């Protein structure tokens, strides 16, 4: 049985965590035993390749379980793990700092609370809904204008400027159409979440659209 320097085999009786591995030290077994010498010998007898006792440390079931969970992504089978680099610094650091005791952080984004519209915002919504502009025809006219102006302008720079101006008008019409649609859906009793689903946005953004933001 090969024993790496610093991985002394102690007398049997007290539980110890051990790291047993191949010569390159990348494939290791993290286990526990009360008789380290016998345990390592038994595993070596069952292994077709030479193994080394890389490291050991006082500890029982709790420490072994936590180490297994800490390196679960590297587990191949049973108590065997594969590391890209020398595993000992990582294992020793985990035993020292005990990251499993750190409080868990919930990385899920908290849902924003949708505030209720103010009186001024409600009035703005009603005004938007009361607009008599025929929005779809206005949108069609803006699109037609883009086509006509682009075709008649030969200078590339002037053509680009005309396209930007027409694009701005289309966006303004689309925004007004969004506001009117959102206000109408709200007046029909739809929730902000349902309105958001129509526009493929959050409920908070749906409220902002209805408010003309």
- pLDDT for res 12: 64
Residue 57's alpha-carbon distances to 24, 40, 188, 213, in angstroms, are: 21, 14, 69, 62
* Contact between 169 and 142 (Cβ < 8 Å): yes
Q: How much is the mean pLDDT over the chain?
A: 77
Q: Which segments of the chain does DSSP mark as H helices, in order?
A: 36-46, 61-70, 87-97, 119-129, 135-152, 156-187, 192-199, 203-210
4 pLDDT band (50/70/90 cuts)? low
End-to-end CA gap in the chain: 74
Residue 191's alpha-carbon distances to 66, 178, 211, 213, in angstroms, are: 46, 16, 14, 18
Whether pTM > 0.75 for this model: the answer is no
- Statement: residue 11 has pLDDT above 70: no
- Statement: residue 136 has pLDDT above 50: yes
76 pLDDT band (50/70/90 cuts)? very high
Give the mean model confidence (pLDDT) for residues 79-105: 87
């Amino acid at each position: 049985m090969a024993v790496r320097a610093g991985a002394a085999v102690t007398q049997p009786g007290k539980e110890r965590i051990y790291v047993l591995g191949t010569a390159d030290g990348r494939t290791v077994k993290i286990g526990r035993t009360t008789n380290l010498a016998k345990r390592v010998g038994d595993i070596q007898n069952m292994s077709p390749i030479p193994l080394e006792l890389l490291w050991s440390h006082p500890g029982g079931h709790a420490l072994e379980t936590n180490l297994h969970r800490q390196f679960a992504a590297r587990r191949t089978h049973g108590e065997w793990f594969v590391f890209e680099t020398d595993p000992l610094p990582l294992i020793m650091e985990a035993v020292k700092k005990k990251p499993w005791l750190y409080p868990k952080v919930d990385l899920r984004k908290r849902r924003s609370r949708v505030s209720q519209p103010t009186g001024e915002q409600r009035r703005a919504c009603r005004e938007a809904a009361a607009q008599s502009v025929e929005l779809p025809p206005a949108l069609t006219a803006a699109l037609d204008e883009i086509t006509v102006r682009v075709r008649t302008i030969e200078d590339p720079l002037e053509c680009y400027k005309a396209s930007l101006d027409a694009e701005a008008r289309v966006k303004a019409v689309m925004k007004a159409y969004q506001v009117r649609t959102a206000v109408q859906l709200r007046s029909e009793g739809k929730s902000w979440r349902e309105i958001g689903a129509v526009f493929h946005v959050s409920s908070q953004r749906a409220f902002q659209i209805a408010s003309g933001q």
